[in-house]
Amino acid sequence: MIVAIETATDVCGAAIVSDGRVVAQRSINEKNIHSEKLLPMIDGILCDASLTLDAIDAVAVSIGPGSFTGLRIGLSTAKGLSMALQKPIIAVPTLDALAYEYCRTNPASVGALICPLIDAKRDEVFYCFYETTDAGVKRLSEYSIESVARVGEEAARYGSVVFVGDGTRKMEITPGMAGKYRFAPENICSPSSVGILAEKEGRRLSAKETSTLEPLYLRDFVTTQPGRKIGRESQPIPAAHQTPAHSFKG
């Protein structure tokens, strides 16, 4: 039984998952409400499921990239629960969960190429390319931050791509994109997908790893470096952020 937290974007949500099944979920897609709403949501899903915190085996958290403030709120809450319950944390990359959300809610999408986009402000987005398979989703590129125009140039190499997430609207209004790709802005971050991925493929962090766990920001908030990429062949993701494989079964 896993409690999952999603606060990386405007979505603030919590879910309980068990054996691939969503037991309870609550979420709100609204700016600047995460610090006020997250803990009541967790209380609410426990009430909806008629459970107490003693029944929880682990805490899953969407680790980024995404909103600086949202990620801090989500991780702080996850660490607080982990310490109070003495249960492990499972860190799930937000772009993985967003891609899996599309796969999970579109069962006929096998073979599709997906590019989740998370608004990074200015003209930039956080993004990554994935392929849907019978097993779930397979990551094809690094977690990155780029201008929407540059993402469009990269997408041309993949062919037919479906853009999902809250950064999709930026792509839709970019010259040359309309009619060239498919857009699904209604596909947004979900705590349920965070929880299911954590249960299926996530690694439970040790107490030492949890104490040093930080969000996966991608952007340097002191000196911004547009286009900086993080992945296995460039700048390695810290062990606490890594997932054990690039395909997620579901």
The phi-psi region of residue 121 (left if phi > 0; otherwise alpha if psi is between -120 and 50; otherwise beta) is left
Instruction: Return d(Cα 80, Cα 161) in angstroms, integer.
Output: 39
The tens digit of pLDDT for each residue in 197-213 reads 999 999 999 999 999 99
Whether domain 2-93+189-221 has CATH 3.75.10.10: no
Instruction: Return d(Cα 76, Cα 90) in angstroms, integer.
Output: 13
Q: What is the CATH number of domain 95-184?
A: 3.30.420.40
The domains of the chain are located at 2-93+189-221, 95-184
| 2-93+189-221 and 95-184 in the same fold | yes
Query: In this structure, which long-range contacts are made by residues 48-54, counting pairs with CB atoms below 8 Å and at least 24 apart in sequence?
Result: 48/24, 49/16, 49/23, 49/24, 51/1, 51/16, 51/23, 53/81, 53/84, 53/85, 54/85
Say what the pLDDT of residue 134 is. Answer: 82
The tens digit of pLDDT for each residue in 81-110 reads 999 999 999 999 999 999 999 999 988 888
The tens digit of pLDDT for each residue in 181-190 reads 899 999 999 9
At residue 61 the predicted structure's pLDDT band, cuts being 50, 70 and 90, is very high
Of 116-130, 166-180, 182-196, 230-244, the poorest mean pLDDT is in 230-244
Instruction: Return d(Cα 162, Cα 117) in angstroms, integer.
Output: 10
At residue 220 the predicted structure's pLDDT band, cuts being 50, 70 and 90, is low
Instruction: Return d(Cα 85, Cα 137) in angstroms, integer.
Output: 32
Q: What angle do CA 41, 79, 206 make, to 5 degrees?
A: 135
CB 38 within 8 A of CB 7: yes
CB 22 within 8 A of CB 192: yes
60 forms bridges with which residues in the sheet?
A: 4, 90
